[in-house]
Structure 1
Amino acid sequence: MAALALLGMLLPLQRAVLPGDQGLSWALDLFAHWQPWYAATWLACSLLLASTRRRWLLALPLVALPWFTASRPAAQSAEPAQLTIVIANVNIRQHDPQALLQWLREHPANIVVLTELSPAYAQRLAEAGNGGFGHALLHPLDSPPGLGILSDRPLMEPRLHADTLGALYLQACIDLLGQPLRLFAVHPKPPMAVRKFKARDSLLRELAGASDQATVIAGDLNATAWSSALYAAQQHNVRRVTGAAPTYPSEGAGLIGIGIDHVLVSPQLAGSFHQRGPNIGSDHLPVKVGIRWQAAPANVGSRQHCRLLAE
Structure 2
Amino acid sequence: MSRVLATGGSLLLLLALALLLPARSFLPGDRLLVETLTSFAPQYALLAVVMALWLWWRRRWLRGLAFMLLLVPELAGFLGSRPAPPDDLASAHPRLMVFSANLFESSRAVRSAVDQVEALDADLVWWSEFPRDLDPDTRARVGELDARYPFGFELAAADGRDIRFLSRYPLRTRQTFEPPLTSGRPALRLSLDVRGQLLTVFALHTHPPTSAWSLRARNETLDWLQDELAALEGRAIVMGDLNTSAFAPRFAELIREGGLDCASPWRCAVASWPTFVPVLLTPIDHILVGGELAVTQLRRGRFTGSDHFPVVAEIVFL
TM-score bin, normalised by smaller chain: 0.7 to 0.9
Tell me which of 187, 191, 205 is aligned to 1:173.
191
* Shift in CA distance, 46/168, structure 1 to aligned 2, threshold 3 Å: same
Q: What amino acid is the match of 1:61?
A: L
Residue 16 in structure 1 maps to residue 32 in structure 2: no
Q: Compute the displacement of 1:199 (Å).
A: 2.6
| Deviation, structure 1 residue 51 | 1.3
How many Å apart are 1:85 and its aligned residue?
Answer: 1.1
Give 1:37 deviation, angstroms.
Answer: 0.7
Q: Which residue of 1 is the match for residue 165 of structure 2?
A: 149
Q: Determine which of 163, 187, 199 is the counterpart of 2:217.
A: 199
Cα distance change on mapping 1:73 and 1:203 into 2, 3 Å: farther
Establish whether residue 217 from structure 1 lines up as the match of residue 238 from structure 2. Answer: yes
1:219, distance to aligned residue in structure 2 (A): 0.3
Tell me whether 1:127 sits opposite 2:143 in the alignment: yes
Retained in 2: the 8 A contact 1:92–1:143? Answer: no
Equivalent runs, 1:65-144 vs 2, <5 Å? 65-67=73-75, 76-78=84-86, 79-80=89-90, 82-94=95-107, 97-121=110-134, 123-124=139-140, 126-130=142-146, 132-141=148-157, 143=159
- Residues 35 and 66 in structure 1, CA contact (< 8 A), matched pair in contact too: no
Percentage identity across aligned positions? 22
SS in 1 for 2:133: helix
1:73 & 1:177 partners in 2: Cα distance?
Answer: 30
Question: Closer, same or farther in 2 for the Cα pair 1:161/1:74, shift >3 Å?
Answer: farther
Q: CA separation in 2, counterparts of 1:138 and 1:74?
A: 36
Tell me if the contact between 1:86 and 1:109 (Cα under 8 Å) persists in the aligned partners. Answer: yes
| Residue aligning to 2:63 | 56
Give the Å deviation of 1:207: 1.7
Q: In terms of Rg, which structure is larger?
A: 2
Structure 2 counterpart of 1:77, which letter? P
- TM-score normalised by L of structure 2: 0.79
More displaced 10-residue stretch of structure 1: 135-144 or 47-56: 135-144
Structure 2 unaligned runs (5+)? 1-8
Change (3 A) 1:233 1:76: farther
1:142-291 equivalences in 2 (<5 Å) = 143=159, 146-163=162-179, 164-166=181-183, 167-211=185-229, 212-213=232-233, 214-234=235-255, 235-240=257-262, 243-251=268-276, 256-291=280-315
Q: Distance in 2 between matches of 1:292 and 1:158?
A: 23
Q: Quick one: which amino acid aligns to residue 114 of structure 1?
A: W
User: Is the contact between residue 114 and residue 145 of structure 2 (CA under 8 Å) also seen in structure 1?
Assistant: no
Give the deviation of 1:176 after TM superposition: 2.4
Distance across 1 between alignment mates of 2:312 and 2:65: 38
CA contact (8 A) 1:146 1:168 kept: no
Pairwise CA distance, 1:6: 5.1
Worse-superposed segment, 209-218 or 1-10: 1-10
SS in 2 for 1:279: coil
Q: 1:50 to 1:191 in 2, by over 3 A?
A: same
C-alpha distance in 2 between matches for 1:7 and 1:69? 21
How far off its partner does 1:58 sit?
A: 2.1
Instruction: Measure the CA separation in 1 of the matches of 2:289 and 2:191.
Output: 14
* 1: CA distance, partners of 2:14 / 2:271: 19
Deviation at 1:116, TM superposition (A): 0.8
Match of 1:39 among 26, 29, 45: 45
